[in-house]
Amino acid sequence: MIVRPIADGVEALAPAKLNLFLEVPRRRPDGYHEVESLMVAVDLFDELTFRDDESGAISLQCDDPSLPVDGRNLVVRAAEALKLAAGVRSGARITLKKAIPAQAGLAGGSSDAAATLAALDRLWGLGIPPGRLAELAAGIGSDVAFFQHGPAAACRGRGELVEPLTLPTSLTFVLVAPRVGLSTADVYRRLTPPETPRPMGPALDALALGDPEALGRCLFNRLQPVAEAIRPELASVRDALAGLSSHLCGSLMSGSGSAYFGLARDAEDAGRAADVLKPLGLGLVRVVTCGP
């Protein structure tokens, strides 16, 4: 996440995330699912601007007409939560330019919410301790807390228990975001947790080594078969990436889908993979990077 001042306010760049590992050991008594996930932030950004509003109102404008701009949007929810927690009288005029596809498993809404907390803390001059911001983030959504860390972290619980990880080297991916989306709630609702969950340790060890080949062998997503059963047409994306083993160390669906990514050995291989994928009409194809 990048937060910086502009002439009359604050600007924030909210990154997308990829799940390099995602296991769902069990369903919790509160209705949520327990997760163990290795997540990285990549350089595909939504852009948000924040300007003070002395009326006290929180307002949101978005260039994607399909997204709500009221309390259903996590940006508004985050702004209202921070305003209430800090006892702020001022409001904010927020503008959101979307680049992260919705319903793609890339957590654009959660990232936007995390950026909102950080940007408004600066705009309103609050200086709220990181621990308190993390508490607010956890109350807004499961992935929001991750974006207060990075560029890599192990996430547990509902996703709100975040262990930042050191990234020894940059990782480069080719990202494919199909035009169809998936409801996260629908995917989780159809999931049957495994009797024997897969351990995340090997993926964490491979990340610590900075070895794309080792990490590629550890890519795993418990939700992928469920998402592909809901949207069988996504198999064409999966198969296209699987056919690029000469350029990619492995490939996977991110989160609850519908986006997929391939982990490349280096930037050149990622570019070559993207050149093969772009003419296939699978959706948005882009090379993205997670750097230390």
Q: Which residues are catalytic?
A: 17, 143
Which letter does DSSP use for residue 101 in this model? P
Using DSSP bridges, classify how beta strands 171-177 and 152-157 pair: parallel, antiparallel or unpaired: unpaired
Please check whether residue 22 is in contact with residue 220, taking contact to mean a CB–CB distance below 8 angstroms.
Answer: yes
Q: Where are the beta strands (DSSP E) in the chain?
A: 2-6, 9-27, 33-53, 58-62, 91-97, 152-157, 161-165, 171-177, 220-221, 248-253, 260-264, 284-290
Cα separations in angstroms, 215 against 38, 158, 225, 265, 271: 11, 24, 20, 10, 19
CA distance 214 to 203: 8
DSSP 3-state of 94: strand
Q: 10 Å Cβ neighbour count for 26? A: 11
What length does the chain have?
292
> How is the beta sheet containing 171-177 ordered, strand by strand?
248-253, 260-264, 171-177, 284-290
CA distance 243 to 272: 13
Q: Which of 188, 9, 184, 32 is nearest to 104 (CA)?
A: 184
DSSP 194-239: -SSPPPSHHHHHHHHHT-HHHHHHH-EETTHHHHHHH-GGGHHHHH
